[in-house]
Amino acid sequence: MTLLEIKNLKKIYTARFSNQQTEALAAVNFSVEEGEFVSIMGESGSGKTTLLNIISTLDDASSGEVYLDGNPLSKIKDKEISAFRRNTLGFVFQDFNLLDNFTIKDNILLPLVLSKTPIEEMESRLPPIVRNLGIEAHINKFPYEVSGGQKQRVAVARALITKPKIILADEPTGALDSKASQNLMEILKGINETGQTILMVTHSIRAASFSKRVLFIRDGAVYHEIYRGEQPADEFMDRISDSLKVLSTRGEQDE
Amino acid sequence: MNNRFFSSLALRNIKSNKQLYIPFLLSSTAIIAMFFLMVSLMTNKFVQERSSSLPTLFMIGVVVIGIFSVIFILYTNSFLIKRRKKEIGLYGILGLEKKHVAKILFFESLFSSLLSIAAGLLAGLLFGRLVFMLLNFMLRMPNDIAYTTSLLSVGATVALFVLIFGITLLYNISQFTFANPIKLLKGKQEGEKEPKGSLILFILSLIFLGWGYAISITIPDPLAAIEKFFLAVLLVIIGTYLLFISGSIFILKALKNNKRIYYRSGAFISISGMLYRMKQNAVGLANICILASMVIIAVSTTITIYLGSEETLENRFPYEHNLKLFGDMDYVAEMNNRFFELQDEVIELTEENGLEVAEMESYRYESFFGNLEDGSFVFEQSSVDGDLPVLMMVIPLQDFNGMTGENYSLADDEALFYHSTKTYLKEDLSIGNKTYSLTEIENEFSADMALTESIALVVPDEAHLLDLREDYMGQFPESTHITVDAEIGWNTEGTEAAEKALAEQLESEYNGVSGSFSRYESRDSQREEWYSINGGFLFLGVFLGLLFTLGTLLITYFKQISEGFDDRGKFQIMQKVGLDENMIKDSTKSQIIWMFILPIVIATIHVSFAYPIVRKLLLIFGVTNDMTWLMTFIAVVIAFAGIYWMIYRVTSKVYYSIVK
Ligand SMILES: Nc1ncnc2c1ncn2[C@@H]1O[C@H](COP(=O)(O)OP(=O)(O)OP(=O)(O)O)[C@@H](O)[C@H]1O
Ligand SMILES: [Mg+2]
């Protein structure tokens, strides 16, 4: 079943002090099935973050539409947008975005508190998630007291705790070393195997190789996509890097 | 690298941290202006000349504001420096030596202190001049009260604040020289730690507050009140800071541990935020609370004094016309004759002026100083010794019955007895060679008797007065001042012009004539002067009220602005994970209890406990009516709560617009 469908998405930024316009997204079309794990790759400035922000309802499209479960996101009322974000989406950011004034536990519970979830419900959801992510021992610490990898796992826990329809991750391994990245990706893969849909933007071929499908974006449009199928991880990695090479050389030829 | 380099770097730092420095400089300027105004008031001519207790009270004010300034600037500075830790930590990592960082900090301090001291002095001068002009106009002062400043007050202000800024500089340098760069880079993220031994701090705060309150409650008389007022104020201020620091952290932690309260969106955000900067939060709230108490006391007392002017006049001058007769040691019989002659004389004079005597009171009396010791009153020579002796007024029964309309009769060893503190519980009292069996009566005498511990003793006849004097003289042969004096007071009915004429005639007849041993005072002619003095008090009270309210405004503003910038990033993150604007409003709302109710409630408690001591102080200014003071007090508390509510609303809108 199709969970997310993106149709003809276009985004034009107008600079604040001039009429200069940047076309960040030209015409993006793709869809994500329920239970999929999709990576989006592309050069810097190709519009990946812009795309993710529009799907996250953090930004508006200039034209085109995003459908979640068949419902257009642009029809959600302003008042409901925060609740929608809380209840249906889970976010993982490159720079963690944890709050220093909350303990790890409270950081994870934040979206539930905002949704006015009963305390019993919150406390029953927390233990399995933190155990899975291996941050059980740290839940009473503050963010500045744990490592970067642990912080990102906290962020994943915060995204998971609302049982979102889809997890949106923007370069989740961007601030992590290779070991912590590996660890995080294994966790995301495990989560996906329990049926959780994940859409992730990444620069890392290794990270992308954990997903089931990779989309390549160039000049604001989906240019190419490859499926992992039954391939082992290193073969899939080679295919991804080949595609990237093609992508950049074609780019040069175009100019 | 020379000083010019560092000074220009410092200047650039200040400019690039505008967001932090503007509120800091503004509030430092305000506090400097406030202190400067207070010092100037202390040396003001009106304050110095109008009442002997005013300079003392203003001295207390200066010291309180001084202490307040130290705490306030250290508080705002810690706020500032905490948010700059990362930036300055980078200097270390980029290879600047600690010595050089210290130099940069020095220039930053130099510039910001120069700027705020200069601006503070100027603002103080302008504010003082302007508000004095306005108040002179609005209160229709008969004689304008001039706002004056002296080189001395400028000097004192500059000296104090150079010192305070010096301390903040040392503090800042120590922050950076003793911390490692990594810790500095994390500086802004790390929450404040709970102060060590907060339970001890809490107990200490209760001790300080209890001590301060106890001084107020147990204060015996107005003169002691002046002496102890400062100590009580100081104790309560220290107690307030400790209470807020330990108590607020204690309560916040308890709230955090209560899951049902804590895990609700509004409380969740605000409680964690306040715990994150618990000390700053506590000091900020304590500042507001102290200022609120000062506003309430300054304004309510002076309004009471003003409203009580008429009553004060009546206390000081019980009758429209008052004649006092000074006795002479050697001519007691003459004095007695004169006492009766004079009564006839003034009645005649009154009637000659076409007026009728409506009411008249006259009595003779003798005053002693001494102490109550185990059933007897022991004479003391005078009141110069450290311990204040008790004042005793002895009145013959004939005069007492005459003045009160009562019809007591006394045997030779009986006396009527009034004691202001009502602490003497024995049936008998020995005085000199006599022992009287006592019958207790109420204060039928002057309201001034309640000012210090006093006794009134009504004895069977004048002979007892003379006997007591004999006994006294036997003990202190050199003493010259024990005489039988007399008061004659009467009201008249008739035209105003006639009243005036009578007053003038009496004045020329009995005053200023050498060797006349009498003094005449008319209530009407005292009234104008009395109102101008009390108007002056009201003026000062309103001025101080304005000043402290402005202080409250600035502190609240500073708190909201700086916390707003501090919290902005957090709210942005929370919005990303689904915080909506209503919830931001919710969380600012749940701060109301803290920001609004807590300081006001505690200030009200402080001021309520200050009631006894302030009441005693008011006695000095002739106010004896508790009702007036209670009503004004309640009105001022409500009015200030209203004003603070507006301040709170406006500044929390500012906060909201920053974090949104
Ligand atoms: N707020 C904005 N205003 C104007 N132009 C913007 C804005 N945000 C992004 N852009 C432009 O839109 C284009 C796409 O930016 P986007 O951030 O989506 O790239 P990206 O693929 O995420 O790059 P990277 O891999 O470096 O994160 C870029 O050319 C960028 O300069
Ligand atoms: Mg990006």
> Looking at the structure, do residues B85 and B206 belong to the same domain, yes or no?
no
**What phi and psi, each to the nearest 5 degrees, are found at residue A204?**
-95, 125
> Looking at the structure, do residues B413 and B476 belong to the same domain, yes or no?
yes
Closest CA to A100 of B192, B560, B576: B192
Cβ <8 Å between B190 and A99:
no
Last residue of a domain, one of B190, B206, B226: B190
Through-space distance between the first and last CA atoms of chain A, rounded to whole angstroms: 39
pLDDT of the residue at B600 = 92
Output the CA A44–ligand 1 centroid distance in Å.
8
Closest CA to B112 of B11, B37, B35: B11
What's the length of chain A? 255
> Looking at the structure, do residues B276 and B234 belong to the same domain, yes or no?
yes
Q: How many domains does chain B have?
A: 3
What is the C-alpha separation between B626 and B631, in angstroms, rounded?
9
pLDDT of the residue at B187 = 61
Are the C-beta atoms of residues B464 and B364 closer than 8 Å to each other?
no
Q: What is the dihedral of CA A76, A82, A84, A89, to 10 degrees?
A: 130
> Looking at the structure, do residues B462 and B579 belong to the same domain, yes or no?
no
Ligand number nearest CA of A51 is 1
Q: Which of A11-25, A160-174, B464-478, B520-534: highest mean pLDDT?
A: A160-174
> Looking at the structure, do residues B313 and B339 belong to the same domain, yes or no?
no
Does residue B229 fall inside a structural domain? Answer: yes
Q: How many CB atoms lie under 10 A from the CB of residue B647?
A: 22
**Class for domain A2-254, per CATH?**
alpha beta
For B188, the 3-state DSSP assignment is coil
What is the C-alpha separation between B36 and A240, in angstroms, rounded?
73
Q: What Cα–Cα distance (Å) separates residue A225 from each residue in A39, A66, A123, A188, B293?
A: 10, 19, 41, 20, 71
Query: Which residue, by CA, sits nearest to atom 17 of ligand 1?
Result: A49
Does residue B527 fall inside a structural domain? Answer: no
Show me where the domains of chain A are located: 2-254
Q: What is the DSSP string of B278-294?
A: HHHHHHHHHHHHHHHHH
The token pair at A254 is: 């175009």
Does residue B526 fall inside a structural domain? Answer: no
pLDDT of the residue at A121 = 92
What is the C-alpha separation between A113 and A214, in angstroms, rounded?
35
Are the C-beta atoms of residues B608 and B630 closer than 8 Å to each other?
no
Are the C-beta atoms of residues A221 and A28 closer than 8 Å to each other?
yes
User: How does B614-629 read in b/e, with b if 16+ C-beta sit within 10 Å?
Assistant: bbbbbbbbbbbbeebb
Does B45 contact chain A (CB < 8 Å)?
no
Residue A49 in contact with ligand 1 by CB distance below 6 A: yes
For A1, the 3-state DSSP assignment is coil
Output the CA A45–ligand 1 centroid distance in Å.
5
pLDDT of the residue at B53 = 74
Are the C-beta atoms of residues B614 and B304 closer than 8 Å to each other?
no
- H or E element: which one contains B314? helix B309-316
Residue in chain A lying closest to B262 (CA): A113
Output the CA B191–ligand 2 centroid distance in Å.
30
Q: For an interface test with A, give the residue of B182, B577, B590, B659 to mutate (most A CBs within 10 A).
A: B577
**What phi and psi, each to the nearest 5 degrees, are found at residue B140?**
50, 55
Closest CA to A5 of A41, A26, A29, A36: A29
What's the length of chain B? 660
Q: pLDDT by residue (tens digit) across A36-71? A: 999 999 988 888 999 999 998 888 899 999 999 999
Rounded to whole angstroms, the maximal C-alpha distance in chain A is: 60
- H or E element: which one contains B436? strand B434-440
Does residue B530 fall inside a structural domain? Answer: no
Please return the burial class of A240, using the count of CB atoms within 10 Å of its CB with bins 0-12, 13-18 and 19+: buried
> Looking at the structure, do residues B134 and B206 belong to the same domain, yes or no?
no
**What phi and psi, each to the nearest 5 degrees, are found at residue B497?**
-60, -40
Does residue B341 fall inside a structural domain? Answer: yes
> What would the mean pLDDT of A87-114 be, rounded to a whole number?
90
Q: Which residues contact B176 (CB under 8 A, 6 or more apart)?
A: B88, B89, B92, B98, B101, B102, B105, B184
Residue in chain B lying closest to A158 (CA): B577
Mutate which of A16, A22, A53, A95 for ligand 1 pocket (most atoms within 8 A of beta carbon) = A22
Are the C-beta atoms of residues B609 and B213 closer than 8 Å to each other?
yes
Q: Give A-chain residues touching B259 at CB under 8 angstroms.
A: 119
> Looking at the structure, do residues B269 and B159 belong to the same domain, yes or no?
no
Does residue B600 fall inside a structural domain? Answer: yes
pTM: 0.79
Does B193 contact chain A (CB < 8 Å)?
no
Cβ <8 Å between B190 and A119:
no
Does residue B520 fall inside a structural domain? Answer: no
Does residue B441 fall inside a structural domain? Answer: yes
Last residue of a domain, one of B132, B155, B190: B190
* DSSP 8-state class, residue B330: T
> Looking at the structure, do residues B589 and B481 belong to the same domain, yes or no?
no
> Looking at the structure, do residues B15 and B161 belong to the same domain, yes or no?
yes
Mean pLDDT split into 10-residue runs, chain B, 660 residues: 81 86 89 91 82 79 86 86 81 79 90 95 92 81 80 94 95 81 68 78 94 91 82 93 90 89 87 86 89 91 86 81 77 76 83 82 84 83 62 87 84 88 84 86 72 83 84 79 80 82 80 69 80 80 87 85 85 87 80 82 93 85 80 92 91 87
> Looking at the structure, do residues B261 and B203 belong to the same domain, yes or no?
yes
**How many angstroms away from the CA of B90 is the closest CA of chain A?**
18
Range of the domain at B108: 1-190
Angle at which helices B3-16 and B18-42 cross, to 10°: 100
Q: What Cα–Cα distance (Å) separates residue B583 from each residue in A119, A131, B578?
A: 18, 30, 10
Last residue of a domain, one of B165, B190, B215: B190
> Looking at the structure, do residues B163 and B225 belong to the same domain, yes or no?
no
Q: Which residues contact B213 (CB under 8 A, 6 or more apart)?
A: B232, B236, B609
Angle at which helices B265-276 and A104-114 cross, to 10°: 150
Q: Which atom of ligand 1 is nearest to the CA of A47?
A: 18
